[in-house]
Amino acid sequence: MTDRSFRSILTGSFSTPCAKNPTVAMMEAGYAKAGIDARYINCDVKPDNLAAAIAGAKAMEWAGFNCSIPHKIAVIDHLDELAESAKIIGAVNCVQIRDGKLTGNNTDGKGFLASLRKLADPKGKTIFLLGAGGAARAIAVELALAGARHITIANRSIEKAQAIAELLAKHTECQAEAQGWPEGLSIPEGIDVLINATSIGLGDADALPPVDTGSLGHAAIVADVIPNPPMTRFLREARKQGCRTLDGLGMLVNQGIIGAELVVGAKLDPEVMEKTLADIFGVQD
């Protein structure tokens, strides 16, 4: 007889389409480096099958799972409780299962925050956020909860920016302001952190959010949520203007690390996870 256990800890992701999502490679590299016998299973779950997938995860005693597009809001109806920021954001991308009880978290904004903290503490800072989708909403809430002083949200459809500003005013101490996005938007002076939280640049190294690139230097730090390619044109233009930059790869790695701490209770190594993704994305050193 051997003492060895042949039962792995089960985790994974529910989304559709899922085939292009490299999170599984990043997470399993992290688990392997940490010496944890855990699997991360990338599952294609259609909206009509979400309830059955969650019931299956519970029945098989998974430790937890990530939710990505299109389940981040719909999953909430199946959970027992929500962490504070997930409650405010109104979306969940990470679920822990403990003794059959499901708790929803949102690690997107927390992943961004962990990345940003390597360059600056958001407390007291003035933020300019481009975009008002799910990523922008999560980032805005986490920055506000972390003590940011003022956040301007600029979006093509201003109503979505206004909804985030109202959310921040209701739940946090942060001053929030919404505006539309005219072509060639100029970034005002005195910004501490400028963030592209739109999908512009995903899979397209030449795509650029329609801003006046000469005004990027008005921000001390310029960040992008786009993980692939990590060095977006937005960040390249910001570097030319002398800004410090932060890419979306770091955000992706950090949300995975925070998720693993919640779900399997282990601290994973960011370097091996970042290298795994960089290799997949074909990033040169």
**Positions at the binding site for NADP(+):** 84, 131-135, 225, 248
DSSP tag of 189? T
Interaction between residue 226 and ligand NDP (CB under 6 A): yes
Q: Judged by CB, which is closer to ligand NDP: 80, or 271?
A: 271
87 in catalytic set: no
Q: Kindly tell me which residue out of 56, 90, 133, 270 binds ligand NDP, with binding defined by CB under 6 A.
A: 133
Q: Among 164, 85, 159, 167, which residue's Cα sits nearest to residue 129?
A: 164
CA distance 248 to 278: 11
Interaction between residue 131 and ligand NDP (CB under 6 A): yes
Interaction between residue 199 and ligand NDP (CB under 6 A): yes
How near is the Cβ of 61 to ligand NDP at its closest, in Å? 28
Q: How many residues does the chain have?
A: 285
Give the residue ranges of DSSP H helices in 35-133. 50-59, 84-89, 108-116
SS3 271: helix
Footprint (CB under 6 A) of ligand NDP, residues 99-128: 108, 111
Interaction between residue 23 and ligand NDP (CB under 6 A): no
Annotated binding-site members for shikimate: 68, 93, 108, 255
Q: Binding mask 157-186 vs ligand NDP (x if CB under 6 A, - otherwise)?
A: x--x--------------------x-----
Question: How many Cα atoms sit within 13 Å of 65 on the Cβ side?
Answer: 29
Q: Among 282, 268, 280, 271, which residue's Cα sits nearest to residue 28?
A: 268
Catalytic residue among 72, 110, 118, 240: 72
What pairs with residue 151 in β-bridges?
127, 176
Q: Kindly tell me which residue out of 127, 252, 263, 273 binds ligand NDP, with binding defined by CB under 6 A.
A: 252
